[in-house]
Amino acid sequence: MGSLGTPEIILIALALLLIFGAKRIPEIARGLGKGMREFKDATKDIQRELTVDADDRKTAYRPQPPHQAAPQPQAPPAQPPPQQAPAQPAQAAPAPDAAASGSTQAPDQPPQT
């Protein structure tokens, strides 16, 4: 397979002339030219944006020297919560051995001998 030579290009041009006619070929060429120009402009715009972004990144990233923060006032130490008075103990049920002996003493009083 070789590249297109002069005879092949002439043959393609004649085929286009027969298919589209003499009036339509200039219109088609103008449309192709405009399309190629728009494509080139778009690629140039994209390249320009990329280079501007790259330049912005280079200039935007400058490491800042570490700065010392102002000393923060220290909060006073936390105070422990106030002690609550102990809750009164609930009345306990009599011990099983006291109930078996038939004693009538209150459960929080010591046994009398």
pLDDT tens, residue by residue, 79-103: 766 676 666 655 655 555 544 555 5
pTM of structure = 0.38
The span from the CA of 26 to the CA of 20, in Å, is: 10
The span from the CA of 69 to the CA of 91, in Å, is: 61
The encoded tokens of residue 81 equal 């919560």
Q: Decide if 93 contacts 107 (C-beta within 8 A).
A: yes
pLDDT above 90: percentage of residues in the chain: 27
**Domain-wise residue ranges, the chain:** 7-60
Q: Is the pLDDT of residue 12 over 80?
A: yes
* Cα-Cα-Cα-Cα dihedral sign, residues 39, 41, 44, 46: negative
